[in-house]
Amino acid sequence: MTYIMSLFLLGLVLGLVAVASNPSPYFAALGLVVVAGMGCGVLVNHGGSFLSLVLFLIYLGGMLVVFAYSAALAAEPYPESWGSRPVAVYMIIYMVGVGVISSKFWGGWFESSWVPGDELAELSVFRGDVGGVGLMYSTGGGMLIISAWVLLLTLLVVLELTRGLGRGTLRAV
Highest mean pLDDT among 57-71, 96-110, 112-126: 96-110
Cβ atoms of residues 65 and 71 within 8 Å: no
Task: Label residue 96 by pLDDT band (50, 70, 90).
Answer: very high
Q: Does the pLDDT at position 126 exceed 60?
A: no
Q: What is the mean pLDDT of residues 58-77?
A: 72
- Each residue's pLDDT tens digit, 1-38: 778 888 888 888 888 888 888 777 777 777 888 888 88
* Nearest by Cα to 58 from 143, 134, 126: 143
Does residue 79 register a pLDDT over 60? yes
Quote the mean pLDDT of the chain.
Answer: 75
Q: Give mean pLDDT, residues 65-93.
A: 76
Q: Quote the pTM value.
A: 0.61
pLDDT in tens, 145-168: 888 899 888 878 777 776 655 555
pLDDT at 112 over 60: no
As a residue count, the chain comes to: 173
